[in-house]
Structure 1
Amino acid sequence: MNGWTQRVSVVVCAYTTRRWDDLQASIESVRAQPEADEVVLVIDHAPELLALALARWDDVVIVENAQRRGLSGARNTGVLEASGDVVAFLDDDAVAEPDWVRLLVEPFVDLDIVGVGGRAEPVWPVGGRRFYSDELLWVVGCSYAGLPEGDADVRNVLGCTMAFRRWDLVQAGGFDLDTGRVGRIPLGCEETQLCIRLRQDDPDARIVLRPAALVQHRVTPDRVTWSYLLRRGFFEGVSKAALARELGREDSLSTESHYLSRTLPGAVLRELGLAGRGGLRRAAAIVACVAATVAGWALGTVAGARLGGAGSIAATADLLERAGR
């Protein structure tokens, strides 16, 4: 790669046998790429899945999550296990394009760059995307309309396709264990939080988006339902409220302000003009998702105050879950 001499480790985290076929496709998509010097598979407290993986691969580093259950702990375990100078992350239900590793790590020749994100395109289940406009694809973990279409500096990257310098990850303390997804609870923001911390620690550090580094991200049928849309939007609001308390509103909401004030209103107007072609349903989904997110933000703010103003995302979500029972 034009004189590239640094080692690259690709970390994949998995927690359930329900995604076994997806996991195999994910691992195989990077094993074939010569730029991936090492593939690290972290099994998140799932003994049956661990046994399957150990029997399936003998050239993949397979380890158990040594930290608390959840995606953040699993990723941290992968970082500590990895031997690469650069650590890339791929979701267990995403398949990397053949040049994904090369394109994702090339920008690291610039020493100011500490993180690089790629693009994720959805692979829809039978029945299609239903009510999702391009602007709402973040709900299903994919790149959405409003992101830069070419290489550009961004606040944060997308979790299913990203890479960081390993040293910077270790120095920053890795991913916050109190942030991000645990099992099927749709919390988020662990990548956002990490990227903000990296830049707050070093104002010269750069996080860049490279859309050419592409993965195909499978969307499961349960994610094309109204209930998932509303739940995901709600917990996004909860996550952002906790993030704003921890890291400040300006850094935590800089991207969202433009998205809410410019991108989404334009999308609603466009969809209303396509009323005869499903536009009303897509416009309603945008409005409903925003309402759920605002509700999550408001309740997350109140819950945070009840927790003393410093409650983590996980603690805030737990309080709201218990209150709703």
Structure 2
Amino acid sequence: MPLISVVICTYNRYEVLKKAVNSLTQQTLDDDKFEILIIDNTPNAETGEGASVKRDFESIKNLTYVFEKTPGLSNARNVGYKLAKSPYISYLDDDAIASQVWVEEVLNAFESFDNVGVVGGRIAPIWEIPRPSWLGDALVGNVSVVDWGGELRVADSNEWFAGANISFAKKVLEAAGGFSTNLGRKGGGQVLLSNEESELINFVKQSEYIEVYNPKASVDHLVEKKRLTRDWFRRRSAWQAASDFMMNPSEAEKNLADQLTNIKDYLCSLPPRYRNLQGLYFATDDAGEFQWQLSAIYANTILTLAGFDGLEGIEDGKE
């Protein structure tokens, strides 16, 4: 029986997938101590390029290649953990490259503490194009850049993990019912729903399990050119609001008046010609201003989903 299982879910990204798998063939942990599960969610993969890629991987003895027709990242992740033969499940993005000690250090994190529910690690960016000036440090988490520094430890309450490099005890996934299929990416990224990991981490927080961060369990993660546009970040902000609302509507609906004030303050900070809906998508190279724009988009999405309930009668400049 393997000590730990690595699950990679993929959707028509075979070139980057090969690099991810190659990094797993160079691990310091012996390959008979861990297994690799590829869950291919690409439409018609069995009769298309996926069949050829599966054959390419046949020489990797600890790798199992699975075609999964039901769409959705959350479903693919659930298929992966249910097939896994070990007590620990590590999820690696198909466009990530694991450090040589990654699997060993994830396993070390689980075995260094009692009742570990989730392990997160460092995620360093591979910028496909130079990082834009409008992308400030406060926003790089949106492209899964994670670096909390320090040593192996129980994570602080303000330290979050990203799905490109996250691992769960299988018993936690089973107890929680896996990843919510109402959340998570679908269609190769057209639908930017998220929070499927956050929901599981909340389950960990509310149980007897603990969260552990190990900076040595590190991966490099591709930040594609298509994500390094203002449009993508605007979409990401709106979909984050939708994800938060779907996961916990009552929490998302708190402080709607503050959300409205944020939008008004943002628009009033702009030149007069942008003090309308155009202000939510005009181009700016200023990192701080762009961050504020995204927060206004988030707030506007929450207000729309809430139907502006409870805001009737609020006058300009009053709460």
Instruction: Tell me which residue corresponds to 1:26.
Output: 20
How many residues matched? 266
Structure 2, unaligned stretches of length 5 or more? Answer: 255-283, 310-319
Correspondence list, 1:71-86, <5 A: 71-86=73-88
Instruction: Tell me which residue corresponds to 1:289.
Output: 294
Instruction: Tell me which residue corresponds to 2:4.
Output: 8
Instruction: Tell me which residue corresponds to 2:267.
Output: none
Amino acid at match of 2:52: L
Amino acid at match of 1:52: S
Deviations 1:38-61 (A, max 9, x none): 110000143124213212101220
Instruction: State the SS of the aligned residue for 1:104.
Output: helix
Q: CA deviation at 1:212?
A: 2.6
1: CA distance, partners of 2:7 / 2:247: 25
2: CA distance, partners of 1:301 / 1:123: 38
2: CA distance, partners of 1:303 / 1:193: 26
Greater radius of gyration (CA): 2
1: CA distance, partners of 2:237 / 2:5: 32
2: CA distance, partners of 1:281 / 1:212: 34
Instruction: State the SS of the aligned residue for 2:192.
Output: coil
Instruction: Tell me which residue corresponds to 2:114.
Output: 111
Instruction: Tell me which residue corresponds to 1:266.
Output: none
User: Which has the larger helix fraction?
Assistant: 1
2: CA distance, partners of 1:303 / 1:26: 45
Are the equivalent residues in 1 in contact too, given 2:2–2:85 (CA < 8 A)? Answer: no
Relative to the length of structure 1, the TM-score reads 0.74
Are the equivalent residues in 1 in contact too, given 2:179–2:200 (CA < 8 A)? Answer: yes
Instruction: Tell me which residue corresponds to 2:221.
Output: 217
2: CA distance, partners of 1:229 / 1:176: 24
2: CA distance, partners of 1:154 / 1:97: 24
Instruction: Tell me which residue corresponds to 2:211.
Output: 207
Are the equivalent residues in 1 in contact too, given 2:93–2:164 (CA < 8 A)? Answer: yes
Instruction: State the SS of the aligned residue for 1:231.
Output: helix
Are the equivalent residues in 2 in contact too, given 1:116–1:210 (CA < 8 A)? Answer: yes
Is 1:235 aligned to residue 239 of structure 2?
A: yes
Moved over 6 A (4+): none
Are the equivalent residues in 2 in contact too, given 1:7–1:85 (CA < 8 A)? Answer: yes
Q: CA deviation at 1:149?
A: 5.0
1: CA distance, partners of 2:36 / 2:156: 27
Is 1:188 aligned to residue 191 of structure 2?
A: no
Instruction: Tell me which residue corresponds to 1:264.
Output: none
Instruction: State the SS of the aligned residue for 1:181.
Output: coil
Instruction: Tell me which residue corresponds to 2:138.
Output: 135
Instruction: Tell me which residue corresponds to 1:64.
Output: 67
Instruction: State the SS of the aligned residue for 1:132.
Output: coil
Instruction: State the SS of the aligned residue for 2:232.
Output: helix
Correspondence list, 1:32-181, <5 A: 32-35=26-29, 37-46=34-43, 47=45, 48-58=48-58, 59=60, 60-65=63-68, 68-109=70-111, 110-143=113-146, 147=148, 150=151, 151-154=153-156, 156-181=160-185
Instruction: State the SS of the aligned residue for 1:126.
Output: coil
Identical residues among aligned pairs (%)? 25
Structure 1, unaligned stretches of length 5 or more? Answer: 254-278, 305-325
Amino acid at match of 2:4: V
Instruction: Tell me which residue corresponds to 1:311.
Output: none
